[in-house]
Chains A and B, each alone.
Chain A
Amino acid sequence: GQQVMQIPQYQHVQEGEDFTTYCNSSTTLSNIQWYKQRPGGHPVFLIQLVKSGEVKKQKRLTFQFGEAKKNSSLHITATQTTDVGTYFCAGLKTSYDKVIFGPGTSLSVIP
């Protein structure tokens, strides 16, 4: 079945450093979504990428969808302590399909 993988599993960075998490799917995706879950909280939708090669920015966050629509990345510039949490990517094989979550990347930011 469809699998969504993420690396790294954990990342510890010094405040101010950059951070990147990578997401890979075993199949071509219709779109990919990114979520952030703070410790003790629930997943919060960040963004959806639909087009091949698409790049979207949200302040210090840059999201990219690969040309083959099988991988994606989330890059955070100059991390802050408020960025702490687990970042999940989630892929859909078709527009009407269920969402399959990756295992997540847990980010710790050292002040």
Chain B
Amino acid sequence: GAVVSQHPSWVICKSGTSVKIECRSLDFQATTMFWYRQFPKQSLMLMATSNEGSKATYEQGVEKDKFLINHASLTLSTLTVTSAHPEDSSFYICSARDLQLESGRDEQYFGPGTRLTVT
């Protein structure tokens, strides 16, 4: 299957600092990438939909000024957590959508996730 990478895999930062997480699709072009957040023993909560070349669409309750998303190319999307606080500590997972209209193929491939701890 397709491969999606995330970097870093884990990061510890101090309260008030910003952290950037990268999501890359390695062997396919993804016009759409999704950013999820997952707390322990919970499901994935969609934070935002990132479309290449346009502004991200944020889910209700997600602060767009706090979670900056940039989808600069067909293989790269970044999530920047600005002015991080301890409550932002979580597992952040991206996924890249492999949508091929001709074949009807529509699959998401997830990155390995980034564990963020804010102290």
Contact = CB atoms under 8 A, between A and B. Distances in A.
A45 B109 contact: yes
A35 B76 CA distance: 23
B29 to A, nearest CB: 16
B106 A95 contact: yes
Nearest to B107: A45
Interface of B: 1, 34, 36, 41-46, 49, 93, 95, 99, 104, 106-113
Interface in A22-71: 31, 33, 35, 41-45, 48, 50
Interface string A67-88: 0000000000000000000001
Given A42-B111, A92-B106, A101-B36, 12 more contacts: A31-B106, A35-B110, A41-B112, A42-B93, A43-B93, A45-B1, A45-B110, A88-B43, A88-B44, A98-B34, A101-B45, A104-B43
The 3 A-B pairs at the shortest CB distance, nearest first, are namely A103-B43, A101-B44, A42-B110
Interface in A86-106: 88, 90, 92, 95-96, 98-104, 106
Contacts, number: 46
B65 to A, nearest CB: 21
A104 B36 CA distance: 15
26 contacts: A33-B108, A35-B110, A41-B112, A42-B110, A42-B111, A42-B112, A43-B44, A43-B95, A45-B108, A45-B109, A48-B106, A50-B104, A88-B43, A88-B44, A92-B106, A95-B106, A96-B99, A98-B34, A98-B49, A99-B108, A101-B36, A101-B43, A101-B45, A101-B46, A102-B43, A106-B41
A42 B5 CA distance: 11
Nearest to B57: A98
B11 to A, nearest CB: 16
Contacts of A48: 106-107
Contacts of B44: 43, 88, 101
A68 B108 CA distance: 24
B43 to A, nearest CB: 5
A108 to B, nearest CB: 13
